[in-house]
Amino acid sequence: MDSNYQYQSQNIESQAEQRAKVATERARAEKQRAKNKCLEHFGAIMDDFNAATRNGIEFQVKSVDKIFIKNYYYTHWENYILYLFIPFLAYSFSFFTQSSSLFIFTILVYSFFVKSSFFVGKYLRDLDCEKEELKIIENQIFPRKQGELKELFVISTILFIASNITFYYSKVVFLSDNFINKIAPNLQNFNPENELFALVNFVSIAILFSYKLFKRN
């Protein structure tokens, strides 16, 4: 009886592992197909660009190419779904240290590494595209992205300064005495007086997320 149960248990685990492996391979294959399709659209854009240059006409990225490339970029390149926990992480750490205000710059740092110019340059690198051509193509596909990093830096800096000022005037806002009495003794260096500071950090990062969503075009 025990051996039969053990065999069935191992069989179920093996099937589960196999299904997980198949799902992973399917997701990887889908991503590769999307990448290859994205490269095809970039190739079509370069063909149109070269044709427009030869004929002396104004270059315009076709809507079908623009839509697919933007969808791929926001799905596989600049995907912020996994980063939605950052405001909550900043909120939690704010009860322990003033340096938690540095979380405000996480959106700026991430945006630098996934900026549209890196994306366009990566996919057009093999097509011998000049720097000026890259900029023209990027501007047409991602018009709202232009100047985004500078604006993010200014907004982040203002929010960072506001956060640190708030730290020195912070106070308990919503936390009840009962909650504080239960949590504070069990967490070393937990300071409930930092709640206003924590809320400012949470709202600051939420503002930056909202700005990023607005820049999606």
- Extents of the domains making up the chain: 1-77, 78-217
Matching residue, tokens 């110019």: 117
Percent over 90 (pLDDT), the chain: 27
**What is the pLDDT at residue 7?**
52
CA atoms within 13 A of residue 87's CA, in its CB half-sphere? 14
192: three-class secondary structure by DSSP: helix
pLDDT per residue over 32-70, tens digit each?
A: 888 888 888 888 888 888 888 888 888 888 889 998 999
Query: What are the structure tokens assigned to 179, written together?
Result: 């909650």
pLDDT per residue over 62-111, tens digit each?
A: 889 998 999 889 888 887 776 778 899 999 999 999 999 999 999 999 99
Q: What is the mean pLDDT of residues 120-140?
A: 79
Q: What is the largest CA-CA distance in the chain?
A: 82
The number of helices, as runs of H, and strands, as runs of E, in the chain is 9, 0
What does the alpha-carbon distance between residue 91 and residue 116 come to, in Å, rounded to a whole number? 30
- Binned at pLDDT 50, 70 and 90, residue 127 comes out as low
pLDDT per residue over 3-18, tens digit each?
A: 555 555 556 656 556 7
What does the alpha-carbon distance between residue 41 and residue 68 come to, in Å, rounded to a whole number? 8
**What is the pLDDT at residue 15?**
57
Closest CA to 84 of 107, 102, 100: 107
Query: What are the structure tokens assigned to 9, written together?
Result: 């248990």
